[in-house]
Structure 1
Amino acid sequence: MTEIRSRHLDVNGIRIHVTEAGSGPLVLLLHGFPETAYSYRHQLTALAAAGFHAVAPDQRGYPHTEQPPSVGDYTIHHLIGDAVGLINALGAPDAVTVGHDWGSPVAWGVAQARPDLVRGVVSLSVPFGSRQPHEPLDRIRAAYGDNFYQLYFQEPGVAERELERDPGTAFRKVFYAYSGDAPEIGDLICDENGWTGPLTDPVKLPGWLTEQDIAVYAEAFTGHGFTGALNWYRNITRNWELTAAWQGLLIDRPAMFLGGDRDPVVNWFDPAALRPIMAATVTNLTSYTLLEGAGHWIQQERAAETNAALIEFVSSVS
């Protein structure tokens, strides 16, 4: 059985916890919200068995890694800098950067800012979105109203109180509601009880998710809290301001996109038009797949198919 190892690395003035397996060319696996490196548990061993050094950090502000105190410590430049710092700290000449959810903008950003360090870039669930000329939260409010979850996350302390009251129930609701197993595609709109208020607590978990998995996530955030993770959202406007020089910048590294056709993020866009839209800005999009019936948590929901696609792509650029 492939051993999964754990350690801390000093990167950019903070201690970042990483889980890793295997040896060989580096594959850096960047998780999203509200997850941890545990979300890549199936990919670590599969990539290691295929001859790669798979490394999944708990990113800045998340459990097991340091949580800088200021909201301004979580800009996209900090997050990209951490990924670059990890590549260097691991002694690798380059990496395939893999991102899911919030990890995807980081993976794409490393490919934009430091293409010399990127053999290829993989996005799970979140397509590349080129910088737009208008402030993003204003566009979100105009499109979805004031109760969209990203707007709800802006006020410090509000979402924390909701999620920290009962992390286990919050994780059960969120993982089920935005998976392919939910009866309807989630709309990401909050109600008077917050983000998880309108979500169903499933009587039975889907087959890809166990009570032990829920416990791992809930125990990780208990005590640590959600503030560091939520601070990523509180920099959306600041990130837009900081990346003005990147407007129109293309991504020319080999790229792969894998999503689910029942993912609410994919369905923000017109799924039928998504590939040509991405191809206009990701000029070497060599792999694009939407898995039928899959939701947002694709590397957990559909581990075997995700692993096969990842190994094929990573092998092709390594």
Structure 2
Amino acid sequence: MTSRDDALTTMTQRFSPVAAHVRQVWGLRLPHHVAVFAALAASDGAALGEIGLSPWGVTDYFRDGGLDRRGRDGLDQRLHARFRHDPAEFLTVMRGNTDGLHFGLWYDDPAELPTAIAHNYARDSAETWTSTEPTLLRVVRERVNGFLADYGDEEEEAGRVAPLIEALDWYQAADEAALRQDGPPGAASMPRSYLAMSPMPLLPPGSGDPQVAASGSRLAAFQDDPVQAAAWIAEARHQLAAGQPALALAVGSELHWLDDDAHRDAGLDLLVGAYRALGRDALAEIALVHAAHRDLPSVQVLAA
């Protein structure tokens, strides 16, 4: 097992080349706290596994030889660990051990650092929700606290997570230093609203009204009311053409998640059009490559 000092030194050294690769391939900025999580996984992976968590996604690049890995069968690396309902804003960094649970950095704007850490049970209902914790280690501690709330009265179960708690305490100073090094993302203080199945991406002033409160009724219409569905899509297109992409982004996100053949093309057009209008081209490109490969039998794309 790698010592914690060695793991932290190694992953800190690997951060810059991994971050440069993520910037080149995804067009996204990687926060320094990801390297601290990679160090935790390297030194205390067995303890992390006691609550069913392990690194996955772009954190695979922190493994030995990770940056030499490429997509299997020539597949785009941006498809790695990207489930069919994942929003383009979601970049997988960690997985759980049940129902396709995976955790990702949430990018409202690819020019900025991620504003949240999200999770999604891909093999269940596949909604995406965000944590209030700003780093992966704090999300891990949040999961530990949840485990203890459920099983803490059982001495054997509580003992299982004691090594992980000790490891989290050891890495806490490094995690806080990483957070200070990056500073808060520009939009971190903005209030966040939710669509029926995911966060509504934060938008600059003047982007229009995403009509978040109507998200549930829109999803119902897209499934059962073709006339109303067509009206929503038409209104989103109209507002997008008028320079207000918020509704197009909301409707496009809903149709992406719904994954219905009847509205697949319209949803992608709205989503990509909204991203382009907002200057979020990296997210547009992720949405396009994802749409072209949503039927992959496995999202384990990076070859060993």
The structure whose residues are more often helix, as a share, is 2
The structure whose residues are more often strand, as a share, is 1
Provide the TM-score with structure 1 as the length reference. 0.28
Provide the TM-score with structure 2 as the length reference. 0.29
Q: Which of the two has higher C-alpha Rg?
A: 2
